[in-house]
Amino acid sequence: MNVIHVSAECYPVAKVGGLGDVVGSLPKYQQQAGVSAKVVMPFYDNKFTAAHKFESVYESELVLGKDTFSFRILKLKKNILEIEVLFVDIPGLLFKDYVYSEDDTARFTAFQIAVMDWMLTLKTKPSIIHCHDHHTGLIPFMAQECFKYQALNQIPVILTIHNAQYQGWFSHDKVHYLPAFDINHIGLLDWDGVINPLAAGIKCAWRVTTVSPSYMKELQQVANGLESLLSHENQKCIGILNGIDAEVWNPETDEFIAKNYSTKNIQTGKTANKKWLCKEFGFSASKPLFAFIGRLVYEKGADLLPEVLDKVLSEKKCSVLILGSGNPEVEKDLKNLQKKHIGVYNTFIGYDEKLSHLIYAGADFLLMPSRVEPCGLNQLYSLRYGTIPLVRSIGGLKDTVMDVEDGGFGFSHQESSAEDILQTLNRAIAFYKDQPAFKKTRKHIMGIDHSWNVSAQKYIDLYNSIKPAKNE
């Protein structure tokens, strides 16, 4: 079996959030399980592409509406990645110093056309095309409907929804971007009067997965307008919990952190990393340290943090560190709190991979008050690094964090409200005072196996459950 993953992100080449982590690690674990798995992604103008040399394996032209673009499929001259990654280079369109922006419709439609054009030319066709999120949601439609891709229409296409909030909507006046198809089937592209790539992907993919079982169930109730579609397509949908790359995220070997540790020296390891953070951000190491890492957006409940933190920090019983960026208003509100809570609160507004590792290693607790969380990787990293998660019980958070009061190892709350978050924070502060229980829990969570071993196999089982493609 040979699988091609198609994605906008793949760590360490380009990562905006968890999608990058998943596409950078799932194929690696699939390889280890004996499946050939490659990734195809855009060639961006970023640190990774600047630092490495590439060679072309295919060159052609693609048509996007009235425009024609030259494109190349590149690979690394010397593969330093653990998986094979192919890059779609479309100068002037994809080669930008960002992953997502305003011009995504043209960029990602062209990306998908290039991927399909290239796959048509492959002597050995993939046995599975695995698409990720709306940026690749037109591929299931194109494989099934576009005349020029008929030779690919027997290859099963899987679509994984990492986040249904974003659907890639564009208006019908851009439908000519797509290669010719039977216009009577235009309804497959449409949802609510606009072209909706995620909806088209859900309709046309052979199987649809989401990144946790709970999120799959929730999507039938709340899916940013796609509830009825997902209920209707229920038979081909399945939730598979994300795993983590246990080699990249390993406190024993992590090169980003101040001191490596395992369950054997957890106390000295966590203390050294906490000290590093406290020194860097001006905190006293004696108080419990809470952290938030992530996109500062409504979905993550970040807008609730300023009110909650202002209240909890006034009592000076804990310290809080924020790493993230996103909504400018939330960024401003979070930064403004700094003047009022010197010595117990700090922020790093921006993106910093190394700092994120140091925080998972050095914090005592991680905050995830998400309104929507398809899976969430932060809580899985935090468990691996012995940092106790505080989560809203939703999506993947519900599937991975059990409250201490229910015999579990974290703290969870039901509502997305400042009051509930505050109450949970206070429960955690009280728990920290019981050091034997705190240390026991910390040790326990480090031992939970969330590596991809189990879930990578679930994807393989899913592929195998589909009737074999004709060309296999």
Residues in the site for ligand ADP, rule: CB under 6 A?
Answer: 17-19, 21, 293-295, 323-325, 351-353, 356, 375-378
Q: Site for ligand GLC (CB under 6 A): which residue of 168, 374, 386, 389? A: 374
Q: Between residue 340 and residue 359, which ones bind ligand GLC under the rule CB under 6 A?
A: none
Q: Least separation, in Å, of the C-beta of 237 and ligand GLC? A: 15
Query: In the window 22-61, what residues touch ligand GLC (CB under 6 A)?
Result: 22
Under the criterion CB under 6 A, does residue 373 sit at the interface with ligand GLC? Answer: yes
- Which residue in the set 201, 288, 324, 376 belongs to the binding site for ligand GLC (CB under 6 A)? 376
Q: Which is nearer to ligand ADP, 117 or 133 (CB)?
A: 133
DSSP state of 405: G
Strands 84-89 and 67-76 turn out to be antiparallel
From the list ligand GLC, ligand ADP, none, partner contacted by residue 378 (C-beta under 5 to 8 A by kind)? ligand ADP
315, 376 Cβ separation under 8 angstroms: no
Angle between helices 435-446 and 266-281 (to 10 degrees): 100
Residue 131 bridge partners (DSSP): 6, 159
From residue 128 to residue 147, the character string flagging contacts with ligand GLC as x (rule: CB under 6 A) and all else as - is --------------------
One-letter identity of residue 249: W
Minimum CB–partner distance for residue 300 and ligand GLC (Å): 8
Query: Residue 22 or 367: which CB sits closer to ligand GLC?
Result: 22
Question: Judging by DSSP bridges, how do beta strands 84-89 and 36-42 pair with one another?
Answer: parallel
Inter-residue contact 391 to 415 (CB < 8 Å):
no
CA distance 254 to 251: 5
Rounded to whole angstroms, the Cα distance separating 249 from 271 reads 18
For the CB of residue 413, give the shortest distance to ligand GLC in the complex, in Å.
18
| Minimum distance of ligand GLC from residue 23's CB (angstroms) | 9
Element (H, E) at 224: none
162 touches ligand GLC (CB under 6 A): yes
- Comparison of 42 and 294: residue with beta carbon closer to ligand ADP: 294
441 makes contact with ligand GLC (CB under 6 A): no
Q: Among ligand GLC, ligand ADP, none, what does residue 295 contact (CB within 5–8 Å per kind)?
A: ligand ADP
Give dist(CA 460, CA 227) in Å, integer: 27
Q: Fill in the DSSP letter of residue 52.
A: S
Which residue stretches of 37-184 are H helix? 47-51, 104-121, 138-145
Distances (CA, A) of 358 to 164, 272, 291: 30, 10, 11
- Give the residue, chosen from 6, 14, 19, 293, that forms a contact with ligand GLC under the rule CB under 6 A: 19
Nearer to ligand GLC, 345 or 452 (CB): 452
Instruction: Identify whether the C-beta of residue 44 lies closer than 8 Å to the C-beta of residue 470.
Output: no
Site mask, ligand GLC, residues 394-433, x = CB under 6 A? --x-------------------------------------
Q: Which of residues 176-235 bind ligand GLC (CB under 6 A)?
A: 211
- Please report how close the Cβ of residue 323 comes to ligand ADP at its closest, in angstroms: 5
Residue number, 127 or 136, with CB nearest to ligand GLC:
136
Among ligand GLC, ligand ADP, none, partner that 293 touches (CB below 5 to 8 angstroms by kind):
ligand ADP
Torsion of CA 331, 361, 381, 355, to 10 degrees: 40
SS3 394: coil
Using the contact rule CB under 6 A, the part of the chain among 191-199, 267-275, 373-381, 445-453 near ligand GLC is 373-381
Q: Give the DSSP letter string of 306-348.
A: HHHHHHHHHTTS-EEEEEEEE-HHHHHHHHHHHHHTTTTEEEE
d(Cα 129, Cα 3) in Å, to the nearest integer?
Answer: 6
Interacting stretch for ligand GLC, rule CB under 6 A, among 117-125, 171-179, 327-335, 375-383? 375-383
Stretch that binds ligand GLC, among 1-9, 16-24, 224-232, 415-423 (CB under 6 A): 16-24
- Computed over its alpha carbons, how large is the radius of gyration of the chain? 23
- The entry of ligand ADP, ligand GLC, none near residue 352 (CB within 5 to 8 angstroms by kind) is ligand ADP
CA-wise closest residue to 455 among 404, 399, 403: 399
Q: Nearest residue by C-beta to ligand GLC?
A: 18
* Cα distance between residue 410 and residue 200, in whole Å: 38
Is residue 377 a contact point for ligand GLC (CB under 6 A)?
A: yes
Please, which residue, 318 or 375, has the CB nearer to ligand ADP?
Answer: 375
Q: How far is CA 218 from CA 239, 268, 402, in A?
A: 11, 41, 18
Selected binder of ligand GLC within 18, 24, 269, 369 (CB under 6 A): 18
d(CA 364, CA 139): 43
Nearer to ligand GLC, 29 or 149 (CB): 29
DSSP-assigned beta bridge partners for residue 365: 290, 388
Please identify, using beta-carbon distances, which residue of 241 and 469 lies nearer to ligand GLC: 241
Name the site residues for ligand GLC (rule: CB under 6 A).
17-19, 22, 162-163, 211, 242, 373-377, 396
